[in-house]
Amino acid sequence: MSDEFDDITDFAVVGTDTGVGKTVVTAGLVGWLRESGVDARAVKPCQTGFPPDDDAGFVAEACGDDAAATCLRRLEPALAPAVAAEQADVDLSYESILSECRDALADAAVGVVEGIGGLRVPLAGGREVVDLVADLDVPALVVARSGLGTLNHTALTVETLRARGVPVAGVVLNEYAGETTAERTNPDVIAGMTGVSIETVPPLSLTEPSDAVAGVANHLSRSVFPRE
């Protein structure tokens, strides 16, 4: 393992909303670390809309190794976990998810917890995704859309994390093409609003899941990884 990766800590990849690219960024970062000799693993606390949605499965396929990702719970309804569990008449315990997340993080040199939707998504037992990130005591990397409307969502996400004592490692604007004035100005504006570093990932073809690893590694800097 290269010395430049030896002080990376466990962290969470959270989104400003659903569908913003958390899974692609998670797969890219985990794959990048594993290719650099780091025993990294993605942890999905709960997958809803399964099947066909399988974020941990995508990460494992992108990395070419089933050990690269684990999913703690899978629910069929494509809803927030707490709502999906109620609809499916399944008992979903926040304490169990928290405990199993901690165990999964302890089993890897670097654990990467992928959020579900945005921070205020109901998870279980009256708790939300932001509660899990805070209780795990890990820093967070925020994934956001690149275009019009992202300023408000991104700033509120960073503010919410900080209010819960979660360090914000940075913001990744996903599918950044720079084709509009909003896209071109958003990185500097968000940096000014939040005081965190901003990086961008362009639209990726993802013909193969492994394309996520190459795409993320080619466009993000090593400084995107939270350090101890």
* 129 annotated ligand binder: no
44 has catalytic annotation: yes
* 55 annotated ligand binder: yes
Joined together, the tokens standing for residue 119 give: 């921070």
Rounded to an integer, what distance in angstroms lies between the CA atom of residue 196 and that of residue 97?
Answer: 29
Cis upstream peptide for 45 (omega within 30°): no
* 35 annotated ligand binder: no
**44 pairs with which residues across the strands?**
71
* 174 annotated ligand binder: yes
- CB burial of residue 86 (10 Å; 0-12, 13-18, 19+): middle
* 141 annotated ligand binder: no
Name the active-site residue from 41, 44, 73, 145.
Answer: 44
* 190 annotated ligand binder: no
* 128 annotated ligand binder: no
Sheet containing strand 40-44, edge to edge, reads 69-71, 40-44, 110-114, 11-15, 140-145, 168-174, 198-201
* 114 annotated ligand binder: yes
Rg (CA), the chain: 16
Q: Which residues are annotated as a binding site for substrate?
A: 48
Residues designated as active site: 44
Q: Which residues are annotated as a binding site?
A: 19-24, 48, 55, 114-117, 174-175, 202-204
Q: Which residues are annotated as a binding site for Mg(2+)?
A: 23, 55, 114
Q: Which residues are annotated as a binding site for ATP?
A: 19-24, 55, 114-117, 174-175, 202-204
